């Protein structure tokens, strides 16, 4: 297990073209193109999943794109890619609407 997982940026080249980085204990940054968003993913204790994703906490793009709409499709894509990243790391997760 990497004790410094928050230092790792997982980049996915085109056609996916996004990156996901853990930037704090419970905070992640997702980037696609020139837009980024920060959101919280709770670390859970056992028994239960390793992580809990709250879709409602994925709210808006970071400046200068804060006025761009964050659609339900965007939110679903961000959650799906976060889940895929957790699966690659062998982490379990739960999604809260």
Structure tokens at 58: 């994925």
Q: Which of 54, 50, 55, 94 is nearest to 76 (CA)?
A: 55
Q: Where do the structural domains in the chain lie, given as residue ranges?
A: 9-96
Q: Beta-carbon neighbour count of residue 75 at 10 Å?
A: 16
**What pLDDT digit, counting tens, does each position of 40-68 carry?**
999 888 788 999 999 999 999 999 999 99
pLDDT, residue 15, reads: 55
């Amino acid at each position: 297990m990497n004790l410094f997982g928050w230092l790792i940026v997982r980049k996915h080249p085109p056609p996916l073209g996004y990156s996901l980085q853990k930037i704090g204990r419970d905070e992640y940054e997702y980037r696609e193109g020139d837009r980024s968003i920060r959101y919280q993913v709770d670390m859970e204790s056992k028994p239960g999943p390793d992580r809990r994703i709250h879709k409602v906490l994925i709210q808006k793009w970071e400046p200068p794109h804060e006025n761009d709409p964050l659609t339900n499709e965007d939110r679903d894509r961000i959650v799906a890619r976060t889940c895929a990243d957790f699966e690659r790391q062998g982490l379990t997760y739960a999604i809260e609407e």
